[in-house]
Amino acid sequence: MTALRRFFRAAAAASLVSTAASAHASSSDPLVTEGATLRLVTAGLADGTGKLRGALEIRLDAGWKTYWKEPGASGVPPQIDVTDSINVSAAQFHFPAPEWHEDAYGAWAGYDETVVLPVTFTVDDPERFSAVEADLFLGICETICIPVQARLSVEPGMAPDDPADAVLVESAFASLPRTPDAALGVTAATREGDMLLVTVATPKGQADPATLFLAPGGGYVLGVPKPHEAPDGATIFEVPVLAAPSGAAEGTEMTYTLTHGDAAVSGTFILR
């Protein structure tokens, strides 16, 4: 069963929530839906390259969860569409490190407390007026998952109603996983039959376990990575390959997030 079909089957007992909130300000009005309150925030104007920073605040009610960019074998990732915007042609979410969760439909990666997703908007002409009309699609989960469609509107550059909005955006970007280095990151990845073997480096002398999250793309569907210690002391994650594209070969690039204690890194590796 595909991730999307799993998601809507889990939501069969719930109706689709479709809502809209607009504001002529740099931040949208809060939008309250079952299980969460959503708010879209921008800070300032686009830079000279047309990049504008913003953030989607997902304030979850107690006991509710939402998905990471690659939830696993069940669920769908957060999506944003700015087609109806003025002078804004694209938007991209960035993701803080998630955690693994498990329910009746399987294990999936996501968040079980309030999370702020940084957003980079592409402004076509930084010298012209712009307005963001963001159509969002999220899964908000308690015992079942409710698909939430919402439109949030902002006008970048207008004075924020709350000066803390600018701090929220900056903090969201600052909290993203850092670039991998020799102390923490993936060092090798191979496929052996129906399993990926991903070797990672972690800081020496620290007992905290590492946790790996993969966003493979390209038609791959992967199971939950399980860590094992190699004879040389390295950590190797065994990752079940649940589905792979026809003719999948060496050289596939995959993105990942790796956590170790309070540290987190995000990067890419090439499957050998």
**pLDDT one digit per residue (tens) for the chain, 272 residues:** 444 444 444 444 444 555 665 556 889 999 999 999 999 999 888 999 999 999 999 999 999 999 999 986 667 889 999 999 999 999 999 999 999 988 777 889 999 999 999 999 999 999 999 999 999 999 999 988 889 999 999 998 866 667 888 899 999 999 999 999 999 999 999 999 899 999 999 988 777 889 999 998 777 889 999 999 887 778 999 999 998 887 665 678 899 999 999 999 999 999 87
pLDDT value for 10: 47
pLDDT value for 234: 84
pLDDT value for 8: 45
Matching residue, tokens 């550059």: 157
Contact 36, 66 (CB under 8 A): yes
CB burial readout 63-96, b (16+ within 10 A) else e: ebbbbbbbbbbbbbbbebebeebebbeebebbbb
Q: Given this structure, which CATH class describes domain 185-270?
A: mainly beta
CA distances 82 to 43, 131, 135, Å, are: 17, 10, 6
Model confidence pLDDT, tens digit, residues 148-159: 999 999 998 866
CATH node for 3-174: 2.60.40.1250
> Cβ atoms within 10 A of the Cβ of 155, count?
18
What lies within 8 Å, CB to CB, of 93 at 6+ separation is: 56, 69, 78, 80, 117, 118, 119
The token pair that represents 271 in the structure block: 């499957």
Contact 122, 44 (CB under 8 A): no
Q: Strand ranges (DSSP E) for 124-184? A: 132-141, 145-154
Question: Which ranges in the chain are annotated with CATH 2.60.40.1250?
Answer: 3-174
Matching residue, tokens 């307005």: 131
How far separated are the first and last CA of the chain, in Å rounded? Answer: 28
Model confidence pLDDT, tens digit, residues 201-260: 998 877 788 999 999 877 788 999 999 988 777 899 999 999 888 766 567 889 999 999
